[in-house]
Amino acid sequence: MNKMLKYIIADILRTKVMIGYMVLLFVISFVVFASESNASKGVLTMMSIVLFMVPLVSVLFSAIYLYNSAEFIELMLSQPINRSQVWIGMYTGLGLSLIIAFCVGFGVPMLLFASNHGWVLFVSGIFLTACFSGIGLLASVKVRDKARGIGTVLMIWIFFAIIFDGMVLFLSFQLADYPLEKPMMIMSALNPVDLARIFVLLAMNISALLGYTGAVFNAYLGSGLGRLICATVLLGWCILPYWISLKWFKKKDL
């Protein structure tokens, strides 16, 4: 499996898309951090960019890569290797190379300019990368046709990035008569992007400025235990889509 992993990572990191992603992230973070006088404001600006870009690139790239390497997977499976080993190799290879690109693109400017606040965003970015490449895997296993697969993946991304928040806002207005802080916290766990965002906001101590709601979040999620739960749920989001995709892949008729 190690051999396969090495091959996949080397293959991915050489692609133009991946190099482009790395350079783009690097340039954006460098410019944002260098031009913002206040490091925490820079992290806030970067937060919106990272939360927008990282899931999109991760989910699209991993789905497209899987469609393109369908023949390679078939070849691998004709060898005496079992399916779960191939799949785990695919997932870790994709995840690791995307994470490496993120680390270089975002991590280096972050260390240079905003090492005190930026690390939370850095960690959340890594989680999001892993989580969304798992979702990309899931979609590509389920949908055989490439064009439809990419469409599905884009829909999933739009759902998590925009529609989900719209639904939360709609619900909060419909149920405005009830104390909603706790249900909303549970709802946020259903969306890895929201969870990552709240994780970053809490660590930046901005919640104190957000009034009562911020104080409630801080009370529940700001403690050591709260952060642990946050991180565990995020980790769950990294494993769950992959695990389901693995089950499907094992039964799939190639």
Partner 1 sequence: MTVKTGILKWLVSCCICFFTCISHARVIEVSVNAIVQSIASAIQLADHGDTVMVFPGIYREGNLIVNKRISLIGIDHPILDGENKFEIISVTSDSVLIQGFHFIDSGISGTVDFAGLKIYDASHVVVEENILERTFFGIYSQHAKNCIIKNNELQSFGGDELQCGNGIHCWKCDSMQIIHNTVKNHRDGIYFEFVTNSIIWRNVSEQNVRYGLHFMFSNDDTYVANYFHHNGAGVAVMFSNHVSMLGNHFSQNWGDSAYGILLKEISDGFIIGNQFDENTTGIVMEGANRIETKRNLFSSNGHALRIQASCMDIVLENNEFIANIFDVSTNGSLVMNSFHRNFWDKYEGYDLNRNGLGDVPFHPVSLYGMITEKNPPAMMLFGSFFTKLLDRTERVMPGLTPENLVDHEPRMKRFLM
Binding site for partner 1 (CB under 8 A): 38, 41, 44, 47-48, 51-52, 161-162, 165-166, 168-169, 172-173, 176, 180-181, 184-185, 188, 193-194, 197-198, 201, 206, 208-215, 217
- Cβ nearer to partner 1, comparing 120 with 137: 120
- Cβ nearer to partner 1, comparing 147 with 176: 176
Tell me the helices (H) and strands (E) count for the chain, helix number first: 13, 0
Exposed, middle or buried, 186 (CB in 10 Å: 0-12/13-18/19+)?
exposed
In the complex, the smallest distance separating the C-beta of residue 161 from partner 1, rounded to whole angstroms, is: 5
- Cβ nearer to partner 1, comparing 13 with 184: 184
CA distances from 219 to 193, 212, 223, 239 (A): 21, 10, 7, 28
**For residues 228 and 48, is the Cβ–Cβ distance under 8 A?**
no
CA dist., res. 100 & res. 22, Å (int): 9
In the complex, the smallest distance separating the C-beta of residue 171 from partner 1, rounded to whole angstroms, is: 10
**For residues 78 and 168, is the Cβ–Cβ distance under 8 A?**
no
- Cβ nearer to partner 1, comparing 31 with 70: 31
* Helical (H) or strand (E) element with 146: helix 146-158
In the complex, the smallest distance separating the C-beta of residue 121 from partner 1, rounded to whole angstroms, is: 11
Selection from 108, 94, 134, 130 nearest residue 46 by Cα: 108
CA dist., res. 94 & res. 138, Å (int): 13
In the complex, the smallest distance separating the C-beta of residue 250 from partner 1, rounded to whole angstroms, is: 36
- Cβ nearer to partner 1, comparing 87 with 199: 199
- Cβ nearer to partner 1, comparing 143 with 183: 183
Place of tokens 């799939």: 252
In the complex, the smallest distance separating the C-beta of residue 89 from partner 1, rounded to whole angstroms, is: 33
**For residues 122 and 48, is the Cβ–Cβ distance under 8 A?**
no
In the complex, the smallest distance separating the C-beta of residue 66 from partner 1, rounded to whole angstroms, is: 26
- Cβ nearer to partner 1, comparing 8 with 193: 193
In the complex, the smallest distance separating the C-beta of residue 187 from partner 1, rounded to whole angstroms, is: 8
